[in-house]
Amino acid sequence: MTIASAPGKVILFGEHAVVSGVAALGAAIDLRVVAKVEDAPGKLEIEVPNLNLNVKGFALDALKKEILSTKICEDAFQATKYVSTVLQKFDVRNVKVVVESEIPPSSGLGSSASVVVASLASINFHLGLGLSIDELAKEAYKIEKEVQQGLGSPTDTALATYGGYQMVREKAESIELPELKLIVGYTGVPHNTRLEVEKVQNFRESCPQIVDPIFQAMGEISRSSLNCIREQKLNKLGELMNANHGLLEALGVGTKELSELVYASRGAGNARGAKLTGAGGGGCMVAIPSPEYDGVIKAMTSIVQAGGKAFLVTTGCEGVKIEH
Amino acid sequence: MTIASAPGKVILFGEHAVVSGVAALGAAIDLRVVAKVEDAPGKLEIEVPNLNLNVKGFALDALKKEILSTKICEDAFQATKYVSTVLQKFDVRNVKVVVESEIPPSSGLGSSASVVVASLASINFHLGLGLSIDELAKEAYKIEKEVQQGLGSPTDTALATYGGYQMVREKAESIELPELKLIVGYTGVPHNTRLEVEKVQNFRESCPQIVDPIFQAMGEISRSSLNCIREQKLNKLGELMNANHGLLEALGVGTKELSELVYASRGAGNARGAKLTGAGGGGCMVAIPSPEYDGVIKAMTSIVQAGGKAFLVTTGCEGVKIEH
């Protein structure tokens, strides 16, 4: 039996602008997908028992049982599709793959990339396929792109594979930066990345004189953020997050729910800054909490009280690894 | 007895950017200040009986009587100061001036400029001072600036005097545009214009590479809006408002309350677009409602349900006038 795990990701700065060649900064986070492969002679089974789907706690579970269980099925089905594409691609037989995830699906935290990377790494090790880490990243990206019918971004699979931070312009490149404590707030609203990306690109086509300077400001924020993370200037980093959030709102990818979590964390949560992360239109936001224990609790509580689910994560964590 | 009235104003696009020479568009709105002057031999009295201060309706009135009445005193005192400066400036005696206002004070709707313009126009007519309309605008600006200790903007007094629309770059210039139906939503949170302007200017000084492109995008939005208003392309105008709101959030002048009213009007209110107006940090937002009767009711209801006070206004209305 082999167990491999891969981290999720957040985009810290520059989402959307990156589609037009502006620098974005992504970070691996220590919410992980675990893929277990064991021999199963004559069989080929995939099991997805846990995808961290109790996104709103017991209340929603009890009140909207039907919706929640539909959701489980759909997301579990989606995860199964990624794993089965991995198995097909490498003509794998006689195994059982079990995937569990700490990353809420369809939330913009890269769960599908992590599912692909973790299951591919586990199979690679278990069956001795001999893929190097770079080959693993490349194959995982191909598979994610195939299942998502051409969408997918090399950033997600790169972060799931290498961990740490990735600076993305036309391609993703690893960049050395220290860890950050971050609160991720999930609105519970799944989003459609393709839709949000198209919306922004359409806006850009119809109004380049408005959107291009917005992208320019975003690129500058991404660049400025590197030094803040390096020197742990958290107040300044928070200000950059606030500015970047406004620019994403200007592009039309903000939502009421995201805004509520963002303002809750900045206000009652005493965070140094907050922004939506990823494509927007739902999904997650991130906040830099005041660093002491109280600050972290306050930021998390504020997000939960505003109707979200809160995770304390460390950015820049380890990439894919064989756990067993 | 002479009665004169002057309109309030909203900034439709380009606030804050205008401080750095980017074009902004302001409009007079048909919430008015009425100033009545009558002879009062041997006396010099100012009365401010009504400043539209029941900003949250009866609930707040009953619950927070103390706070509300302090507020009344402070704002009434402020209005009195404007009027008494007018009287002093022109060495007026033997009159009683009564000022009433439909414009909530300290809300960014230009109530102080309207108080100055209406009372000056009333005195000008009543005592035959012989000020031309241009002189009236100029004197009113001087008086507002003096009372506000150097702040003040010629836009507010120009809109209160001439009505219509003003395009502001370095100076304000009248521009011909058709009327618009607009919903103004007041958060009930008074704001400090000076503070917000300083905040943005400090941000610009420390991060010009981020703030200058934001201003550039704002200028482009202001320019694009003219054609939309001319041709009554309300959907497009709404999109420009949404983009401008995000840029103001990026500059750091958004608040939880403003964001709540903005999202309520865009969502349940079915508005075509919404943004904060003026300096931010409190004050008002504006929304373009769907034009039919239902649309207006929906937009206003959504704002009230989100905790604001809603006004239906017409932009581009008449400037100062002698009513009696």
Q: Indicate if B229 and B92 belong to the same structural domain.
A: no
Is A25 found in the same domain as A162?
yes
B175: exposed, middle or buried (Cβ count in 10 Å: 0-12, 13-18, 19+): middle
Question: Residue A109 contacts by C-beta under 8 Å, 6 or more apart in sequence?
Answer: A8, A9, A10, A29, A31, A103, A184, A186, A278, A283, A284
**Does B122 lie in the same domain as B33?**
yes
B164/B185 same-domain check: no
Reduced to 3 states (helix: H, G, I; strand: E, B; else coil), residue B37 is: strand
Decide if B107 is inside a domain: yes
Judge whether B137 and B162 are in contact, CB under 8 Å. Answer: yes
Among the candidates A176, A209, A236, a domain finishes at A176
CB contact under 8 A, B242 and A252: yes
A20 and A123 belong to one structural domain: yes
**Which among A183, A187, A198 has a CA at the least distance from the CA of A256?**
A187
Instruction: Look at B243 and A224 and tell me if their CB atoms are within 8 Å.
Output: no
Express each pLDDT in A188-223 by its tens digit.
Answer: 998 888 899 999 999 999 999 999 999 999 999 999
Biggest CA–CA distance in chain B, Å, is: 61
Q: What are the C-alpha distances in Å from A71 to residues A33, A113, A114? A: 18, 19, 19
| pLDDT for res B32 | 95
Domain hosting A7: range is 2-176
Domain boundary (B131, B151, B176) is at: B176
Is residue B232 one of the residues assigned to a domain? yes
| Distance, CA of A10 to CA of B102 (rounded, Å) | 48
| Low-confidence winner among A20-34, A69-83, A244-258, A289-303 (lowest mean pLDDT) | A69-83
Q: What's the Cα-to-Cα distance from B294 to each of A286, B280, B300, rounded to whole Å?
A: 38, 29, 10
pLDDT at B259: 98
Is position B156 annotated as part of the catalytic site? yes
Per-residue pLDDT of chain B (324 residues; tens, 9 = 90+): 999 999 999 999 999 998 888 999 999 999 999 999 999 898 888 888 766 654 332 222 333 333 333 444 567 667 888 888 998 899 998 998 988 888 888 888 999 999 999 999 999 999 999 999 999 999 999 999 888 876 667 889 999 999 999 998 878 899 999 999 999 999 999 888 889 999 999 999 999 999 999 999 999 999 999 999 999 999 999 999 999 999 999 999 999 999 999 999 999 999 999 999 999 999 999 999 998 878 888 999 999 999 999 999 999 999 999 998
> Which of chain A's residues have a Cβ under 8 Å away from the Cβ of B226?
none
- Identify the pLDDT of residue B152: 67
Do residue B217 and residue A214 have CB atoms under 8 angstroms apart? yes
> CA-nearest residue of chain A to B268?
A256
Measured between beta carbons, the chain A residues lying within 8 angstroms of B259 are 259, 263
Using CB atoms, pick whichever of A224, A254, A263 lies closest to residue B246: A254
Is position B296 within any domain? Answer: yes
The total number of structural domains that make up chain A: 2
**Nearest residue of chain A to residue B238 (CA atoms):** A252
A122/A219 same-domain check: no
Helices (H), B96-132: 111-127
Q: How far is CA B285 from CA B185, B288, B299, B304, B310, in A?
A: 5, 10, 12, 12, 10
Q: Identify the closest residue of chain A to B246 by CA–CA distance.
A: A250
For residue B204, what pLDDT is reported? 96
Whether residues A223 and A108 share a domain: the answer is: no
Angle at which helix B208-230 crosses helix B193-206, to 10 degrees, equals 120
Is B195 contained in some domain? yes
Interface of B with A (CB under 8 A): 203, 207, 209-211, 213-214, 216-217, 220-221, 224, 239, 242-252, 254-256, 259-260, 263-264, 267
Give A239 to chain B, closest Cα distance, Å. 9
Residues A200 and A294 in one domain: yes
Same-domain status, B58 and B128? yes
Give the list of residues 6+ apart from residue A42 with CB closer than 8 angstroms, or none.
A94
What is the pTM for the complete model shown?
Answer: 0.88
CATH code (residue B171): 3.30.230.10
CB contact under 8 A, B263 and A259: yes
Residue B99 in contact with residue B83, Cβ under 8 Å? yes
The verdict on ipTM greater than 0.90 is no
Name A65's Cβ contacts closer than 8 Å, sequence gap at least 6. none
Tokens linked to A81: 């599709």
Residues of A with CB under 8 A from a CB of B: 203, 207, 209-211, 213-214, 216-217, 220-221, 224, 239, 242-252, 254-256, 259-260, 263-264, 267
Is there a domain that residue A324 lies in? no
**For B217, nearest residue in chain A (alpha carbons):** A210
- Take residue A18 and report the two structure tokens written for it: 């990156």
B194 and B155 co-located in one domain: no
Q: Of the residues A30, A75, A156, A212, which is catalytic? A: A156
Token pair belonging to A53: 């789907």
Contact A277, A107 (CB under 8 A): no
Give B-chain residues touching A224 at CB under 8 angstroms. 207, 210
With residue B33 as reference, give the H or E element that holds it.
Answer: strand B24-39
**In a shared domain, residues B25 and B159:** yes
CATH number for the domain spanning B253: value is 3.30.70.890
Last residue in a domain, options B176, B203, B229: B176
Beta bridge mates, B166: B26, B174
User: Same domain, yes or no, for A298 and A171?
Assistant: no
Instruction: Give the total residue count for chain A.
Output: 324
The closest alpha carbon to A182, from A43, A13, A2, belongs to: A13
Q: Is A246 in Cβ contact with B247 (below 8 Å)?
A: yes
Q: What ranges in B17-163 are assigned the alpha helix state H?
A: 57-63, 65-89, 111-127, 133-147, 154-162
- Is B73 domain-assigned? yes
Tokens 């008074």 label which residue?
B190
> Could you tell me how many CB contacts below 8 A there are between chain A and chain B?
96
Neighbours of A108 (CB within 10 A): 30
In a domain, A16, yes or no: yes
Residue A127 is assigned to a structural domain of this protein: yes
Which two structure tokens, joined as six digits, stand for B47?
């009365």
